[in-house]
Amino acid sequence: MIDEVLTTHAREPVLAERGHIPSLHAPVLAAQASRAPALCLRQVCLSFGGVQALEDIDFEVRRHEIVAIVGENAAGKSTLAKVMAGVHRPTSGRILSDGADVTINSPSAAARLGIATVFQDLALADNLDVAANMFLGHELKRAFILHSEEMENAARAILDDIGARIPSVRYPVANLSAGQRQSVAIARALLAKPRIVVLDEPTSSLSVTQTGEVLDLITRMRGLGHAIVFISHNLADVQAIADRVVVMRHGRIVGESPMSYVTYEDIVAAITGATHTLPAPPSTRASRVVGAG
């Protein structure tokens, strides 16, 4: 059942991107919504008293897309993630979901809009197994009886869908590697079948092998139709999987470009302020290979 739901969500945006009409009876508004970004922020500002944390943020992410947000510490990356997650409410600006204006004033409001966030603090309970962690606070039960087998089957299905290498859903989380723990946290976020997944530094402090596994997992999520916001300090990881890169500095977005058009040096220069922005592709949409001279 989970496969069917995820496959259905993955198929719809592909039809829209290729210009096919899903059904002759589909409403025009639904077709327009499928072409709109899954999440869009326009002129979003956030201040804490006299401190301007975010200023004039214009950002969007579409289904089947990984958008990386990079920048130095205190650039505003995690603060922007918390706005999308409903932890912080913007002082001003607009937020749109599938082309419609929405208000995200709490984590529950974000969840209702299909937005899931995995923060750096994974918030896993070491004394519980994988399935129990994934359903913690959302246990399946009827007449006060837990349906452990049903939860284990659902947990296994999601882990298999994203290619997570977990030996058993009954395995204690305390015995998992850092990469496996990250996989469990991401899989837990996918239980609610979100359209948009925000990942805050998912590969920090992982080994090379574990990082590769997590990046593969994120790539598979893109294939399933999710819109993914990937916040990272590791530019090699960003170059490996992102479709677009957004650079933040001092609470502002200072550059945005398709990943295929910018080099590592371009991104570093924009992050540090050596250049004011990223190179943008010309109107002809000609692209430049990453790392080319």
Residue 264 token pair: 């590592």
Secondary structure element (H or E) that encloses residue 218, with its range: helix 208-223
**For 58-93, how does the pLDDT look when each residue is reduced to its tens digit (9 = 90+)?**
999 999 999 999 999 999 999 999 999 999 999 999
Dmax of the chain from CA atoms?
Answer: 66
DSSP 3-state percent helix, strand, coil across the chain (nearest 5): 35, 25, 40
**34 pLDDT exceeds 70?**
no
Cα distances (Å, whole numbers) of residue 9 to 2, 57, 135: 11, 28, 22
- The per-residue pLDDT for 199 is 96
Q: In the 8-state DSSP scheme, what is residue 172?
A: B
Residue 184 token pair: 């469990």
Distance CA 278, CA 190 (A): 33
Instruction: Pick the more confident residue, 25 or 37.
Output: 37
pTM of the model as a whole: 0.80
Domain extents in the chain: 2-127+194-272
**291 pLDDT exceeds 50?**
no
Secondary structure element (H or E) that encloses residue 247, with its range: strand 244-249
- Nearest Cα neighbor of 219 from 241, 238, 245 is 241
**For 102-135, how does the pLDDT look when each residue is reduced to its tens digit (9 = 90+)?**
999 999 999 999 999 999 888 899 999 999 999 9
Complete DSSP assignment for 181-215: HHHHHHHHHHTT--SEEEEESTTTT--HHHHHHHH
- Nearest Cα neighbor of 204 from 172, 176, 171, 179 is 179
**For 186-245, how does the pLDDT look when each residue is reduced to its tens digit (9 = 90+)?**
999 998 899 999 999 999 888 998 899 999 999 999 999 999 999 999 999 999 999 999
Do the Cβ atoms of 262 and 278 come closer than 8 Å? yes
Do the Cβ atoms of 246 and 33 come closer than 8 Å? no
Which class would CATH give 2-127+194-272? alpha beta
**147 pLDDT exceeds 70?**
yes
* Residues recorded for the chain: 293
Distance CA 189, CA 197 (A): 8
* Exposure of 236 in the CB half-sphere (CA atoms within 13 A): 5
**In whole numbers, what is the pLDDT of the chain averaged over residues?**
84
